[in-house]
Chain A
Amino acid sequence: MNLFLSDPDFKMDVLREVGNIGAGHAATALSQLLGKPVDMKVPTVSFLPFEDIAERLGGVETVVVAIFLRVEGDAPGNMFFILKREPARRLLQGLPCLEAAGSEDYSELELSALNEIGNILAGSYLSSLADFTGLHMSPTVPAIAVDMAGAILNYGLLQFGTMGDDALLIDTAFLEGPNQMEGHFFLIPDPESFEKLFSALGVPL
């Protein structure tokens, strides 16, 4: 993208900070929900070929639980909260109000609970981002799917599909204590949104 021709390192840093602030708030929300500490890794920001994005989750065919929201408003984009099956199971077991079954499949109630967790986390991610940038950003009602990572991520990349074969991904991983519960927050802003994000943050284009 032409936008990244001048001073790309600084711009990547700014986006990393965007991920940091958003995911920081989301991690706090998750920690309150679970009643225990949740750590997060330093966000990574990268231009990746479509195929490689799924590699972040262990490969195109890895089965993941994904909660997807479309970000609407001034800087539209796609957002995913993605967990592998094991951590998703542990996350459910950590909820005080839910009797999580040990089976492979998820019950309606479990899927609904995961969906709501995704909703809460994405909401706190986006509202902190909206505060920070002064841009209007609101999430759509979330949708959940349990399927191959490649098939799921296809969806978030369509806006980039018309521009090229790479997408810019802001990825933040979560860890929950010794359990190593690993979840990923993927924010994939639409190509047109970067200009808005940068000008809202006073980054010279």
Chain B
Amino acid sequence: MTEDVLIKVGMADLNIAACGAVLRTMGLGSCVGLTLYDPLINLGGMAHIMLPSSEIARDGHLNAAKYADTAIPALLKLMTNHGAAASRLAAKLAGGAQMFALASGGDSMRIGPRNVEAVKLALEKFGIPIAAEDTGGRYGRTVELDTGSGVYSIRSVQYGVKEI
């Protein structure tokens, strides 16, 4: 199949790709870049999750990809519709940083760690194991999932490229 196909996933967006195509999302700060991967059919999915819970949504039409509790079922459904088996899926996640250390923090300042917690909770609910993660810290990340190998590479300004 086609090599070197790059599929961009925007902020509060999700998408899937297969057979060697690369899914990429750029500039993750407090957002979480969640990927699910089915190694048998080389199908990968990625969501750029911005907020922990859709309960706080006030927009008329809910963007499922934006919230941890809605993005994971949406991505799962999309992938099973394309032949993935939920039992074969494993998750990798990156992001959830705390970009600024403010003295007068409030809860919104801890949004990165809260996103990570919410993603893990949702994965547990659907029984999806976490294969690897690179979360937290105080730096931004650009991430790519290679659907040929399932390798998740994470690039940051300070630390260069890391593969998980």
Contacts and interface: CB of A to CB of B under 8 A. Distances in A.
Interface string A26-70: 000000000000000000000000110010000011010000101
Contacts, number: 97
Interface in A144-158: 144-155, 158
Contacts of B29: 147-148, 150-155
B1 interface: no
B50 interface: yes
B26 interface: yes
A147 B12 contact: no
SS of A interface (majority): mixed
Interface residues of B, number: 32
A162 interface: yes
B12 A50 contact: yes
A161 B99 CA distance: 17
Candidate in B10, B100, B111 with the most chain A CB atoms within 10 angstroms: B100
Interface residues of A, number: 30
A140 B26 contact: no
B10 A155 contact: no
A164 interface: yes
Given A70-B102, A154-B28, 11 more contacts: A70-B104, A140-B103, A140-B104, A147-B139, A147-B140, A151-B141, A155-B29, A159-B108, A162-B56, A163-B58, A165-B63
9 contacts: A60-B142, A70-B104, A143-B102, A147-B157, A150-B140, A152-B99, A153-B27, A154-B11, A158-B51
